[in-house]
Amino acid sequence: MDNQDRIKRLLNYKTLLNQLQNLGFVKVFSDNIADALGVSASLVRKDFAIFGIAGSQKGGYEIASIVGKINDILGKNKEQKVVLVGVGRLGTAFLQFGKGFHNEGIKVVAAFDINPEKVDETKEIPVLPMAKLSEFVQENEIKFAIVTVPEAAGRQTIELLMSENIRGILNFTSLKIKSTDKTIINNVDIEHELARLIYNVNQLYNED
Binding residues (CB under 6 A) for ligand ATP: these are 85-91, 113-115, 118, 130, 149-150, 153, 157
Give the shortest CB-95-to-ligand ATP separation in angstroms. Answer: 11
| Choice between 153 and 170, CB closer to ligand ATP | 153
Give the shortest CB-156-to-ligand ATP separation in angstroms. Answer: 6
Amino acid (one-letter) located at 26: V
- Contact assessment for residue 83 and residue 112, using Cβ atoms and an 8 Å cutoff: yes
| Choice between 53 and 95, CB closer to ligand ATP | 95
| Choice between 27 and 118, CB closer to ligand ATP | 118
In the bound state, the residue with its beta carbon closest to ligand ATP is 88
| Choice between 102 and 123, CB closer to ligand ATP | 123
Beta bridge partners of 184: 168
- Contact assessment for residue 127 and residue 136, using Cβ atoms and an 8 Å cutoff: no
Give the shortest CB-195-to-ligand ATP separation in angstroms. Answer: 20
Give the shortest CB-127-to-ligand ATP separation in angstroms. Answer: 9
Give the shortest CB-21-to-ligand ATP separation in angstroms. Answer: 40
Cα 37–42–44 angle (5° rounding)? 45
Sheet containing strand 184-187, edge to edge, reads 127-129, 106-113, 80-85, 144-147, 168-171, 184-187
- Contact assessment for residue 113 and residue 87, using Cβ atoms and an 8 Å cutoff: yes
| Choice between 73 and 153, CB closer to ligand ATP | 153
Question: d(Cα 45, Cα 28) in Å, to the nearest integer?
Answer: 12
